[in-house]
């Protein structure tokens, strides 16, 4: 999870792995391992990464805000209650809010296509 976040934030900042590694005083292979999930940054590096990207450590670690948590649970409840979406309920428990939104949009589009 943190690797995906690091990669997304790095791309959003439009810096290469090498540039980011140089800026943080780490090796590019170490950063590549973080992004692929084969290794994780050590605990002392987390605040430096958050500062580098201008985000909180919670954001970096994927901890949703209270508002996001409420929205996530509302979407998951919607998925659980709809008979056509119920099959996705177990998958939605570990999915990100964006994954749940995209899945609902795809299912809604498929429903509309099937009704024509």
- One DSSP character per residue, 46-104 reads HHHHHHHHT--HHHHHTPPPHHHHHHHHHHHHHHHHSTTTGGGHHHHTTS-HHHHHHHH
> What percent of the chain lies above the pLDDT cut of 70?
80
Distance (Å, rounded) from C-alpha 61 to C-alpha 63?
6
Mean pLDDT of 109-115: 76
Domain ranges of the chain: 2-61, 66-115
Enter the pTM of the model. Answer: 0.58
Read off the tokens for 81: 């209650």
User: Can you tell me the distance from the alpha carbon of 69 to that of 96, in angstroms, rounded to the nearest whole number?
Assistant: 10
pLDDT in tens, 59-78: 899 887 666 667 777 777 77
Question: At 90, is the pLDDT very low, low, confident or very high (cuts 50, 70, 90)?
Answer: low
Instruction: Name the CATH superfamily, with its identifier, for domain 2-61.
Output: lambda repressor-like DNA-binding domains (1.10.260.40)
């Amino acid at each position: 999870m943190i690797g995906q976040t690091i990669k997304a934030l790095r791309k959003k900042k439009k810096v290469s792995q090498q540039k980011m590694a140089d800026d943080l005083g780490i090796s590019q292979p170490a950063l590549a391992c973080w992004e692929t999930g084969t290794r994780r940054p050590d605990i002392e590096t987390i605040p430096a990464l958050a500062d580098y990207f201008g985000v909180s450590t919670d954001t970096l670690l994927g901890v949703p805000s209270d508002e996001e948590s409420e929205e996530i649970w509302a979407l998951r409840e919607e998925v659980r209650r709809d008979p056509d979406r119920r099959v996705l309920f177990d998958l939605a428990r570990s999915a990100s809010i964006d994954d749940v939104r995209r899945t609902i949009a795809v299912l809604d589009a498929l429903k509309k296509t099937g009704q024509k």
